């Protein structure tokens, strides 16, 4: 891409084909603009790994052409990879105040706060970044300061929605800014790049204000302690929980590290001013059961978060008794059903009342349903549309839905696709290698890293380590030693002895030349152990063979 090249390009490195780890690039006149740099949580496929990032290798190589990272909002799937990946591409970061504060906390933790230029931007102002002019347009979402980005280029304006919904009464931030969007539409929008998360929802997402009314109604009728768990980053919901405490005459306590962090960030950026004074964690037990409201983290059942610890009776300062109430003011994210089911059962076994969004309307989503998509597209009137922020099925449905609204061109992108956006349409012109990285302990590795593969294998199939000592003639100089891990047997001692006998026999059967070759010995050991295990207990373990040759040993 040269300076004179005034094509407009779109290249997602993450988030197109998955919900999580968003990383998008826009190219124009030889420069790149990054939008968001998020992570996602790992699953059982990568045992021992917590976080997954998009592989930024492409932009790492092009980092001298990268003019900036524009962050739409402060959710982890949009900012979570910044502290881990920033040093690979090093560019200035732009965000509104609340989001910037969230990012700053992460940079501090990573110890790179002083290296990063972090610009705080105002909404509705044009920011010149290289060949791009970017304007933040506030949109409601399940966090403070959700923003869409109007990205102006010489070839036309792109509207990158970020995560959004329409809410006439979002409690925090401006009510749905149809005027800003209509005037953007009047100026002309070439392409819209938009949130596909809830495209299957035929209904509107609903308003934060109704959640407030409903939570007050539900809590009013409750005796004993009330615990409400929600996503800490939903500042409007935190504000609501404060309002519920006031309306029901209860004192409020916030439990959990991220609750505290969001409370501090919110306060320092002008939110949560109406929250009643907070009760210290240590003093919760002093307050009568029907006079306390506890807000805590862990609404997805995360085992280390406050909610799960409280449910297990392991929390230092919060103990629940039969007849107390726990409200999940949150969505059950697909994939977390089992963990949450377990948590609900733990609470039920202690005779604690559990109320979720299935029992009462105490949660609304932060993403647009079909009526909202239709309304926004009617204001913005984009000529073309890329669905992003979704799994493939979401993206396909979103493209189909856009076509039903007479949007002329749609194209479903995949991570790594370079797509040219021009007034005549959308065209995939190239692709770049993409992949996923994993934070494994303190080290970032490829998701296919041998360490993860080995761990997965041994966690499923067990592991056998063998130590063999040979004399200089290639004969076993001692009985092999073995360490077995994760292998089932009816009689462990017998199992060990039989495995040992098979191994010794297999090595004795080898020709002298083979026994003098480490490679051959390793192979025979592996094949023998696996064959024995498959036959005896049906497992196919990993095998490591440690070989000692006697010439290296000084027996004197």
Nearer to Zn ion, 77 or 208 (CB): 77
Minimum gap (Å) between residue 484 Cβ and Zn ion: 45
Q: Where are the beta strands (DSSP E) in 180-266?
A: 191-195, 226-229, 251-255
Nearer to Zn ion, 153 or 197 (CB): 197
Nearer to Zn ion, 75 or 309 (CB): 75
Q: Does residue 145 bind Zn ion (CB under 5 A)?
A: no
Q: Does residue 77 bind Zn ion (CB under 5 A)?
A: yes
Nearer to Zn ion, 167 or 324 (CB): 167
- Residue 342 structure tokens: 């377990």
Element (H, E) at 459: helix 450-461
Give the whole-angstrom CA distance, residue 22 versus residue 38: 5
Minimum gap (Å) between residue 248 Cβ and Zn ion: 30
- Pick from 28, 29, 75, 398 the residue near Zn ion by CB under 5 A: 75
> Of 400, 306, 409, nearest to 10 (Cα)?
409
Nearer to Zn ion, 28 or 75 (CB): 75
Listed in sequence order, the residues at least 6 apart from 114 whose beta carbon sits closer than 8 Å to its beta carbon are none
Taking each continuous run of H as one helix and of E as one strand, the counts in the chain are 16, 29
> Of 387, 415, 417, nearest to 401 (Cα)?
387
Minimum gap (Å) between residue 146 Cβ and Zn ion: 7
Minimum gap (Å) between residue 128 Cβ and Zn ion: 26
- Residue 490 structure tokens: 């009816």
Kindly indicate which of the ranges 53-61, 162-170, 175-183, 198-206 contains the residues binding Zn ion, using the contact rule CB under 5 A: 162-170
Kindly indicate which of the ranges 60-68, 161-169, 215-223, 271-279 contains the residues binding Zn ion, using the contact rule CB under 5 A: 161-169
Q: Does residue 167 bind Zn ion (CB under 5 A)?
A: no
Q: Residue 310 — φ and ψ, nearest 5°?
A: -60, -45
Minimum gap (Å) between residue 465 Cβ and Zn ion: 44
Nearer to Zn ion, 146 or 382 (CB): 146
Q: How far is CA 135 from the centre of its chain?
A: 26
Give the count of residues interacting with Zn ion (CB under 5 A).
Answer: 3
Nearer to Zn ion, 75 or 515 (CB): 75
Q: Does residue 18 bind Zn ion (CB under 5 A)?
A: no
Phi-psi sector, 301: left (phi>0), alpha (psi -120 to 50), beta: left
Give the whole-angstrom CA distance, residue 351 versus residue 500: 53
How are strands ordered across the β-sheet holding 425-431? Answer: 118-120, 93-95, 66-70, 31-35, 23-28, 8-14, 417-422, 425-431
Q: Does residue 163 bind Zn ion (CB under 5 A)?
A: yes
Nearer to Zn ion, 28 or 73 (CB): 73
Beta pairing class for 118-120 and 49-54: unpaired
Minimum gap (Å) between residue 78 Cβ and Zn ion: 6
Kindly indicate which of the ranges 70-78, 83-91, 407-415, 471-479 contains the residues binding Zn ion, using the contact rule CB under 5 A: 70-78
- State the residues that interact with Zn ion by CB under 5 A: 75, 77, 163
């Amino acid at each position: 891409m040269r300076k004179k090249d005034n094509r407009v390009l779109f290249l997602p490195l993450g988030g197109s084909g998955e919900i999580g780890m968003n990383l998008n690039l826009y190219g124009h006149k030889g420069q790149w603009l990054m939008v968001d740099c998020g992570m996602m949580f790992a699953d059982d496929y990568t045992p021992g790994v917590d976080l997954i990032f998009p592989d930024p290798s492409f932009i790492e190589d092009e980092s001298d052409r990268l003019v900036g990272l524009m962050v739409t909002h402060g959710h982890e799937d949009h900012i979570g990879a910044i502290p881990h990946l920033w040093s690979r591409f090093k560019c200035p970061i732009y965000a509104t105040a609340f989001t910037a504060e969230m990012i700053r906390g992460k940079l501090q933790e990573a110890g790179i706060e002083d290296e990063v230029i972090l610009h705080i931007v105002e909404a509705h102002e044009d920011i010149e970044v290289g060949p791009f002019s970017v304007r933040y347009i506030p949109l409601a979402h399940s966090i403070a300061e959700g923003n869409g980005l109007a990205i102006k280029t010489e070839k036309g304006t792109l509207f990158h929605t970020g995560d959004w919904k329409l809410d006439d009464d979002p409690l925090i931030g401006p009510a749905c800014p149809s005027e800003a969007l209509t005037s953007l539409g009047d100026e002309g929008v070439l392409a819209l790049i938009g949130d596909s998360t809830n495209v299957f929802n035929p209904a509107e997402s609903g308003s934060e204000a109704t959640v407030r009314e409903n939570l007050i109604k539900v809590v009013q009728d409750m005796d004993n302690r009330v615990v409400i768990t929600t996503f800490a980053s939903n500042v409007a919901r935190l504000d609501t929980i404060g309002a519920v405490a006031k309306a029901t005459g209860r004192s409020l306590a916030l439990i959990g590290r991220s609750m505290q962090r969001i409370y501090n960030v919110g306060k320092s950026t002008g939110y949560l001013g109406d929250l009643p004074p907070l009760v210290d964690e240590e003093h919760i037990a002093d307050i009568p059961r029907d006079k306390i409201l506890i807000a805590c983290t862990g609404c997805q059942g995360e085992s280390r978060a406050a909610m799960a610890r409280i449910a297990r009776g392991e929390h230092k300062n919060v103990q629940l008794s039969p007849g107390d109430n726990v409200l999940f003011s949150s969505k059950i994210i697909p994939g977390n059903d089992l963990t949450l089911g377990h948590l609900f059962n733990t609470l039920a076994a202690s005779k604690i009342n559990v109320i979720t969004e299935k029992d009462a309307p105490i949660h609304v989503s932060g993403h647009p349903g079909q009526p909202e998509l239709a309304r926004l597209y009617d204001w913005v009137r984009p000529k073309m549309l890329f669905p992003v922020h979704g799994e493939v099925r979401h993206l396909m449905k979103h493209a189909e839905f856009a076509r039903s609204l007479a949007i002329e061109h749609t194209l479903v992108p995949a991570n790594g696709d370079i797509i040219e956006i021009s007034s005549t349409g959308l065209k995939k012109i190239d692709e770049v290698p993409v992949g996923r990285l994993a934070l494994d302990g303190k080290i970032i590795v490829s998701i296919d890293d041998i360490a993860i593969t080995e761990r997965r294998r041994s966690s499923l199939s067990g592991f056998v380590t063998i130590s063999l000592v040979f004399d200089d003639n290639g004969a076993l100089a001692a009985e092999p030693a073995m360490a077995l891990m994760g292998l089932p047997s009816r009689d462990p001692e017998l199992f060990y002895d039989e495995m040992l006998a098979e191994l010794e026999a297999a090595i004795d059967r080898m020709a002298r030349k083979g026994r003098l070759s480490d490679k051959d010995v390793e192979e025979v050991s592996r094949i023998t152990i696996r064959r024995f295990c498959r036959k005896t207990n049906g497992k196919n373990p990993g095998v490591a063979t440690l070989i000692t040759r006697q010439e290296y040993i000084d027996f004197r």
